[in-house]
Amino acid sequence: MICSNCGTEIADKALICFRCGQATSEPRVKPPVPGQRPRSNLASAIALVVLIAAGLFMGRAVEGDVPWPDVAARFERGGSIATASVRRTAQLRRLLANVTFGAIRGNVDTRLHKLDTGPFDALVLACAGLRRLGFEHRISTPLAVERCVPAPGQGIVAVEARASDKEVRTALASIHDARAAAALTAERVVVAELDGGCKLPLGAIAIQDGDALAMHGIVAAADGSRVVAETVRGPAADPGALGTQLAAALTRGGARELLDEVR
């Protein structure tokens, strides 16, 4: 089976996400024989967080912090940071007031090349993706979730399969990570409760801590001027309820109104 990324193949125009109607770069699976239906689909869970029919999931690693005064001092007099994420821009603007943020597009190779040859001083990418592609040596400053909350599903790899295809699901079961599945369940509930989408400044992550899940959530104005942030904790056995709890706390803080402003 051949896997290709339409965002790389079609570089001259924006692709449209079938979940939220906005631009996206989503993997597509091509069957080896024309006309044959694919039996599974490998993708980042961040691209499928709104809609997953039946999936198996591989886990994520949560980043540690770096001495933040060192980062802040580097950009104290200004600078330019490239990112394709409204969510990251909104969060980092409130921490790095003198920085200019610019949009960037392309696969990881393309973005790193633009960083090396273009006008940007720094580039924000997911550490998980860089590691999986062999670019760990390019990571200079991991950001802790307390400073920049990831998108729901960030860092989790999803393998979609038809619920009726028992053979494929059995074969893939050995790579299923129940902890990642619980975290993603909680994060997807937050997205659903807040009517979120792929391009909104909404962050949510559930972190396993023994038998519990700790959830961090944030919604920010696009310019970073207003932020609603909440943290909740609950049993990992009921991730859906924890996601509902976090969404309710964010709503009470005005998150829905902030999201409505940028929809």
Q: Is the pTM of this model over 0.85?
A: no
Q: Can you tell me the distance from the alpha carbon of 180 to that of 153, in angstroms, rounded to the nearest whole number?
A: 9
Q: Can you tell me the distance from the alpha carbon of 3 to that of 1, in angstroms, rounded to the nearest whole number?
A: 7
Q: Can you tell me the distance from the alpha carbon of 242 to that of 159, in angstroms, rounded to the nearest whole number?
A: 24
Count of helices and strands (H, E) across the chain: 9, 13
Question: Which has more pLDDT, 253 or 52?
Answer: 253
> What is the reported pLDDT for 170?
85
Q: Three-state secondary structure along 31-50?
A: CCCCCCCCCEEEEEHHHCCC
Asked whether the predicted pLDDT for residue 26 surpasses 60, the reply is no
CA distances from 182 to 6, 38, 94, 186 (A): 29, 26, 31, 6
CB 224 within 8 A of CB 91: yes
Burial per residue of 94-115, b for 16 or more beta-carbon CB atoms within 10 angstroms, e otherwise: eebeebebeebeeebeebbebb
Residue among 121, 118, 139, 115 nearest 78 (CA): 121
> What is the reported pLDDT for 71?
81
What the block records as the tokens of 195 is 């009517």
Question: Which has more pLDDT, 22 or 183?
Answer: 183
Q: Can you tell me the distance from the alpha carbon of 240 to that of 172, in angstroms, rounded to the nearest whole number?
A: 24
CB 27 within 8 A of CB 3: yes
Residue among 57, 54, 61 nearest 45 (CA): 57
pLDDT in tens, 103-145: 999 999 999 999 999 899 999 998 888 998 999 999 988 888 8
Average pLDDT value for residue range 151-174: 83
Nearby residues of 17 by Cβ (< 8 Å), 6 or more positions away: 23, 24, 26, 197, 198
DSSP 3-state assignment of 143? coil
Q: Can you tell me the distance from the alpha carbon of 201 to that of 256, in angstroms, rounded to the nearest whole number?
A: 11
> At 189, is the pLDDT very low, low, confident or very high (cuts 50, 70, 90)?
very high
Q: Can you tell me the distance from the alpha carbon of 50 to that of 195, in angstroms, rounded to the nearest whole number?
A: 9
pLDDT in tens, 53-77: 444 555 565 655 556 777 888 898 8
